[in-house]
Structure 1
């Protein structure tokens, strides 16, 4: 794809029209009838931040100084407001009990060593006990699991479903399963620690070694803590979560975690039976049957049991952290088992290698993968003036067979906030990206709490840094706190611009979940208009979506300076597919219902007179 910038008044920026995408059914034997489904919207919340009313935001602040949100903050009112935004699923991020620096010894939890914890609140991806939840999130930490189960019930009562994280690739350096069900042994309990690798070992070892803490900045910003001594006892040392085989990992390694062994030998070969070649077309039932009589590594069994434990409690699905670091045969084994317990389970994976997408979907039986390195990255390049949007068409053509499985997002806990100076720069500049991200395919759309309010992530929590809302610290989220309005969840403290932005998101998301066209066909009309339409500026992007009952034309202007006027062409092949005769047809914008114009069809081709302002988008319905 060619990347191109246009220089205007000395500033490199793109005046670009919104991206277009091809919607097609996945090439699986169990083909979805997407036109009979509704588009899904996922609302990700960082659970400990959602209900926090404290606005101090002191770097490295304690709970007493900076506050923390609780499960109980997700009240019936809060959940109903999230539902009314157009949301289908809530992803409660940071629920499993992970390592953190706080004393809970009174309820039988050991203290974690700050030398192997990132931040004070800890990384949610260094899980310490998979059979319980983060004690910080409970009003009564001793009853924390009961409080989470009550949240599951409230979520379902509000008409929402929920997912939580599972992190199979790595666990906390100090994992302690204090709540294991009967018969479940802890990770590493039966490992042979004298060898680097054995099939049923849960970890990889560095024989005859002692773990050494990496040369990092002082834990807790140098605060005195009896465990902060630059030492952590681990003999022999284990491989680190990101695969480092050093007894003393680098400060940039995932040193707070250890890597889990899935039967991949140190040379990369597989120590388990692989799936037959034709299993990319077989059902989850066939995958489940395949593994029934197979000898699989012990770690496979442990994580399957964890997933089924939470499924039985009413969790509706999972987001899998760094799924591509675990073999897709394991995912076939675990996901098929989950689907046997809940056929509608929502299984979302963090995968960044496009060459592996189809393996994880077809062989690993994932429902959805992040569309990060292609659509997300392209949209970021567009709004930052590094690229024209035309290449989005190439991306969507390339993923046509799997587009329904590629979850669209612009904001999450790992990425820079959409409205931050490091990404779009303003909430308004994020709006055309959001229209395209939401309407370009039949895949689910995800937003991160506060995105709908223009949260810019300006706070420096301590370990966490500016532009990303910290996942390591106790902090408040300012725009979200204004919407929360001291627990009223009525937007009572929002600015006018924040109210307007939330209204935009609410309109867009609710339209998307009711639209049959967005689950139907796609065709770009960018190429013909770029080639022959006067006034079709580089900042414009246009495409069509349709079903048997709904026809849409999406036009977006990525330019933040230019209003464009042009006669949009609708090619003859689209007109034919829509079964339109020559004549005039009224089309109405579905975002605000304020723009009513005419589609004129003559000699089998369509024409629409469009005037579109900076950062404006239209979703025209025939």
Structure 2
């Protein structure tokens, strides 16, 4: 097994986590009449200084994240997946310099110290690469906007036919890169290898679904030639996940299809939807191990998404007993609430600041936090789960039992959404309950109202 097969990620959105100030301009603000007068970057690092807001002199807010590394480990995770850390205009996804740490967080030395502290604890670090689009203060863009065809970066951006440049999903402040331009592939490769050389372990590739797969394949082939062990995961919302992985050269993609099925089936008391999604998930596992999650920096918190918080446990059970490479979005382990809204500032509720120390956090040490520790611990004791397949035994609107296995290894999972006990079937075996509550027999179980359980079977 490669190291990513053992990874369980703790996902942090750094700018929110450390309480960094919000930078101007807003995404809805029209462009200035004149682009900033800055020197465009070289294709080779380091690039020119950007116009990102400055932090308090000498302040390293990344050190606050380092203070949570022991919490990450106590939770059972061994990977730190960082959201954007590069110089940007506002929220991190409007990058203006991929070779410079956002001064609201610190500087390069601060990031490298965090990577070193993580490595000393056996924790891998994943960076978030925004390579589909850039902020309007990105020096290559300001030069192209000011000089037109005379700019050496004119080919990096596509005119939109209306006097401006093509943008990402209608966001004026996010200018799309032209991925048919070879220099853009050179630039992205240089960025990725620059930080891999400095000790990071992989990349989450933002908005990967909006970038041609042949561009990604060019970049990933070059990166892997130098860093064959790097883990590369693309953000993909829907579509042919396995095909995208193969064509783009990714290791994995974000499993949004399963994420939606988990909370939707629990809210609707329609476990047929979940069972169908698990079948699809099994098909993906023949090609790759999907990156699975219940929450991230872009979606409503699972505790707010579910209509009945009794099912928070059921959702977590599914996440941690099926194949894939799971991540926990920081705060979800404490049952944080937060609703994403489609407006300026609509992500603030799902990207809050955190206290200096974990023990100061509401929900710390409470049952849901402990359940994360217990279930992640169970997954650690069964590392084969990363490639395991599920086989359903009982399926109704409100009851589901399935086994999950790899070779001779096997667990049984039973879920009940009803307000009365449910009887479910299982393959004949000697089942021993190891988490949750249920009365197991040789070929089934009785699950309490709104209950769940996980059982092991001894090898013959």
TM-score of the superposed pair, with normalisation by structure 2 = 0.81
2:72 is equivalent to residue 72 of structure 1: no
Q: Which has the higher contact order (CA 8 A, sep 6+)?
A: 1
Do the aligned partners of residues 439 and 503 (structure 1) sit closer, same or farther apart at CA in structure 2, a change above 3 Å counting? same
Q: CA RMSD in A?
A: 3.4
Q: Give the equivalent residue in structure 2 for 1:50.
A: 17
SS at match of 2:156: coil
Do the aligned partners of residues 517 and 161 (structure 1) sit closer, same or farther apart at CA in structure 2, a change above 3 Å counting? closer
The answer to whether the 8 Å contact 1:516/1:546 transfers is no
* CA positional deviation for 1:208: 8.7
* CA positional deviation for 1:38: 4.7
2:85 pairs with 95, 100, 114, which one? 95
The answer to whether the 8 Å contact 1:200/1:298 transfers is no
Do the aligned partners of residues 303 and 591 (structure 1) sit closer, same or farther apart at CA in structure 2, a change above 3 Å counting? same
The answer to whether the 8 Å contact 1:49/1:69 transfers is no
Q: Give the equivalent residue in structure 2 for 1:305.
A: 190
Do the aligned partners of residues 69 and 399 (structure 1) sit closer, same or farther apart at CA in structure 2, a change above 3 Å counting? same
Q: Give the equivalent residue in structure 2 for 1:515.
A: 382
Do the aligned partners of residues 463 and 69 (structure 1) sit closer, same or farther apart at CA in structure 2, a change above 3 Å counting? farther
Alignment of 1:293-372 (within 5 A): 297-355=182-240, 357-372=241-256
Mapped partners of 2:265, 2:414: distance in 1: 15
Q: Give the equivalent residue in structure 2 for 1:445.
A: 326
Rg larger in structure: 1
* CA positional deviation for 1:153: 0.6
Do the aligned partners of residues 255 and 69 (structure 1) sit closer, same or farther apart at CA in structure 2, a change above 3 Å counting? farther
Do the aligned partners of residues 208 and 591 (structure 1) sit closer, same or farther apart at CA in structure 2, a change above 3 Å counting? closer
* CA positional deviation for 1:167: 1.1
Do the aligned partners of residues 63 and 193 (structure 1) sit closer, same or farther apart at CA in structure 2, a change above 3 Å counting? closer
2:444 is equivalent to residue 621 of structure 1: no
2:8 is equivalent to residue 41 of structure 1: yes
Q: Give the equivalent residue in structure 2 for 1:137.
A: 105
The answer to whether the 8 Å contact 1:371/1:406 transfers is yes
2:432 is equivalent to residue 588 of structure 1: yes
2:428 is equivalent to residue 501 of structure 1: no
Q: Give the equivalent residue in structure 1 for 2:421.
A: 564
Gaps of 5+ in 1: 1-32, 55-61, 100-121, 139-143, 177-185, 210-236, 243-252, 264-295, 482-486, 531-536, 600-606
Gaps of 5+ in 2: 22-52
Mapped partners of 2:310, 2:333: distance in 1: 11
Alignment of 1:211-226 (within 5 A): none
Equivalenced residues, count: 421
The answer to whether the 8 Å contact 1:191/1:202 transfers is no
Q: Which shifted more, 307-316 or 376-385?
A: 376-385
The answer to whether the 8 Å contact 2:87/2:95 transfers is yes
Q: Give the equivalent residue in structure 1 for 2:350.
A: 469
The answer to whether the 8 Å contact 1:95/1:165 transfers is yes
* CA positional deviation for 1:520: 4.9
Mapped partners of 2:329, 2:291: distance in 1: 13
2:118 is equivalent to residue 155 of structure 1: yes
Mapped partners of 1:37, 1:259: distance in 2: 31
TM-score of the superposed pair, with normalisation by structure 1 = 0.61
Do the aligned partners of residues 523 and 465 (structure 1) sit closer, same or farther apart at CA in structure 2, a change above 3 Å counting? closer
Higher helix share: 2
